[in-house]
Amino acid sequence: MKKRILITGANGQVGTKLYEYLMHFGNCQIIASDVSENKFNFPEYEKLDVTSYSDYVDVVVKHGITQVYHMAAILSSKGEINNQLAWNVNMNGLMNTLNIAKEYNINKIFFPSSIAVFAEPFENKIANQNTISTPTTMYGMNKLAGENLCNYYHHKFGLDIRSIRYPGIIGPENNAGGGTTDYAVEIFHHAVKNESYNCFLSAPTTLPMIYIDDAIRATIELMRSEKDEIKIRTSYNLAGISFSPYQIAQEIKKHIPNFRMTYFQDHRQSIADSWPQYINDDEARRDWGWKHEYDLSKMVQVILDQLIPNQYPKIETA
């Protein structure tokens, strides 16, 4: 039977890319949804506020949804500015997703968690799969509680919910919104216009990041794994590349020598300082064969080339 997939938060940075990848795999009908209008002219779209149980049920029943990628969320920076909104969307939106999945036999759900579930102190700045943590952001608390809610609904009701703790996701689209890692997306759009970039994190602030194609591939590989390969039903650690604003600026300068970075700090610095610098993703590699493909130089090359094709010749790294 053809899979009928609902993506909530489809207008977001990950949702738009996820839609593209799932369309490529074929044999599935995809309904895009978001709380705002159909910004990207998705062929099948529903304006959906996931905090409204009845509206959510109407969409699931109307389209006979069999799988949900629940991407709707308020991210770390915006969640510190509006705690109540973050709690309502991140917790009640997930609760509605799980209860509707239980009531309407949705057979597979993806829940995006984040490395934001971790908070300092870390041994050697690394967060392991089972590092116990007390998140210091509303977003991190929401994601940690969300992971445990997913684990509960799996064990108590048999729902097949799968989850990944995404690092900061970096891609060429200028649609990262409300996150602490947004600088690593914004920087490219200034650099290709020969503008300097005023970064809101300090130069040495190292964070776990991942190129968006790797993040989406990990998501689909996890969702396509056999059930018995999934040993962790809270959320899997996932690692890509860790870098600082200074390091990505230096990599961009290899292609755009005149690029200049300046620095200031706002509330996002303390969020970043609470997060690990590196992620141990041994369990994802063991259970479902995860392996990242993009390092910093390859990511920078690919993004610049997508923003202005053939402008930045590939630099052969030694």
When asked if residue 116 is in the footprint of ligand VAH (CB under 6 A), the reply is yes
**Contact flag: residue 181 with ligand VAH (CB under 6 A):** yes
Q: Which stretch binds ligand VAH (CB under 6 A): 63-71, 98-106, 174-182, 237-245?
A: 174-182
Q: Provide the annotated active-site residues.
A: 139
Sequence-distant (≥ 6) Cβ neighbours of residue 154 within 8 angstroms: 160, 161, 233
Least Å distance between CB 114 and ligand VAH? Answer: 3
Work out which of 8, 66, 90, 114 binds ligand VAH, going by CB under 6 A: 114
User: Which residue from 68, 75, 159, 199 is in contact with ligand VAH, where contact means CB under 6 A?
Assistant: 75
Nearest to 268 by CA among 113, 100, 79: 79
In three-state secondary structure terms, 312 is coil
Taking CB under 6 A as the criterion, the residue among 76, 90, 97, 301 binding ligand VAH is 76
Cβ count within 10 A of residue 316: 5
Contact code string over 195-214 relative to ligand VAH, x by CB under 6 A = --------------------
Q: Which two tokens stand for residue 245?
A: 């604003």
The nearest distance, CB 116 to ligand VAH, in angstroms, is 5
Rounded to 10°, the helix 183-191/245-253 angle is: 20
In the bound complex, which residue of the shown chain has the CB atom lying closest to ligand VAH? Answer: 179
How many residues of this chain bind ligand VAH (CB under 6 A)? 12
Angle at 15 between CA 192 and CA 174, to 5 degrees: 15
- What residues contact residue 313 under an 8 Å CB cut-off, 6+ apart? none
Q: 46-69: buried (b, 16+ CB within 10 Å) or exposed (e) per residue?
A: bebbbbeeebbeebbeebebbbbb
Q: In the 8-state DSSP scheme, what is residue 229?
A: G
Q: Which of residues 252-311 bind ligand VAH (CB under 6 A)?
A: none
Does position 179 bind ligand VAH by CB under 6 A? yes
Whole-number minimum distance, CB 137 to ligand VAH, in Å? 8
Interaction between residue 216 and ligand VAH (CB under 6 A): no
What is the separation of C-alpha 191 from the centre of its chain, rounded to a whole number of angstroms?
24
- Select from 168, 172, 245, 276 the one that contacts ligand VAH (CB under 6 A): 168
Residue 178, sorted as left (phi over 0), alpha (psi -120 to 50) or beta, turns out to be: left
- Residues in touch with ligand VAH (CB under 6 A): 75-76, 114-116, 139, 166-168, 179-181
